[in-house]
Amino acid sequence: MTKQTDPIKPPRHLLGRPIVYRLGTRFIGYAPTWMTYWCVRRVAEVSYLFCKTARENVKKNLKKAFPTMSNAKLSSLAINTFRNYSEYLVDYGRFRTLDSASLCKTLKSLIGREHIEEARRRANGVIVLTVHLGNWELGAIFFGRQGLRMNVVASREGSAGIDELKQNYRRLHNINTVILGDSPFSTIELLQALKRNEAIAMLVDRHGPTSGHSVKCDFFNAPFNFPAGPLILAKATGASIVSAVVVKGKTGYRSVISEPIVVGDEEEFQSCAQRIMTGFESFIREYPDQWYNFVEV
């Protein structure tokens, strides 16, 4: 296990600007969906053309997942990634105005819900891990509306405007945001949440070579620094870890939640990290143009 500092900050492409998030969360949800999809996809195409760093990072990540894929196919997947991300922002705005019943209709399929319930029966809380795939916010919103207290662990985005927007947005859905590094007591806050049998959710595919305590594993046949934080919390509290993804199909979103992992010893950290990332690899390969990682991993 290694110790480093300074998290990765994603490049601020056009779709990642505060004004885009502000429009997406406050106004887009009231317009016809087909119209907003069409408009934002055009904006996404402009962003793809002019935001070279983000574009090349997406291609590099896709190349790791598909090492034999042609450059033409990689470019096609990359531009679709920008387009799909723009639709994600539209949906992010729409969810703000949906009631619980409508959210249930939006999430067409929920595979593995029993794994969350099994984990909570242990009464030590549950740690939900995911990646920047599909609509990772929807799962937290869904369970938050169902009465499960969610605590989303996040890093600063590099934009105070976006940080504030996301925190206010999550608060509407019974979701607490814990910003790592803001307070020396953030770890205590997470421990107390697990003690209350709440859920902690965090993303694990943007943990760079200088991002805190890490566990070495492989991700797409390359060395990867898996954040040790969730493993340490699980060992300390007895909380179960589940992996989850929320991806978009032709008829709506579906979520898949893995079987719980219980971490009993530090010697298990590496095998647990590898099992988690191997599972995410299969989903990324199935939905490559929904992997919204604009930094190189």
Number of residues in the chain: 297
What's the pLDDT at 205? Answer: 93
What's the pLDDT at 2? Answer: 46
Q: Judge whether 162 and 18 are in contact, CB under 8 Å.
A: yes
C-alpha dihedral, 204 to 208 to 211 to 216, nearest 10°: 70
Listed as ranges, residues in the chain with pLDDT below 70 are 1-30, 156-162, 181-184, 207-212
Does the model's pTM come out above 0.85? yes
What's the pLDDT at 216? Answer: 94
> Other CB atoms closer than 10 Å to residue 11's CB: what's the count?
16
Q: Judge whether 142 and 256 are in contact, CB under 8 Å.
A: no
Q: Judge whether 140 and 172 are in contact, CB under 8 Å.
A: no
Residue extents of the structural domains in the chain: 14-290
The per-residue pLDDT for range 4-28, each reduced to its tens digit, is 444 555 555 666 666 666 665 565 6
Report the Cα–Cα distance between both ends of the chain, in Å, rounded.
19
The per-residue pLDDT for range 270-288, each reduced to its tens digit, is 999 999 999 999 999 999 9
What's the pLDDT at 4? Answer: 42
Which residues lie closer than 8 Å to 124 by C-beta, 6 or more apart? Answer: 194, 195, 197, 237, 238, 239, 240
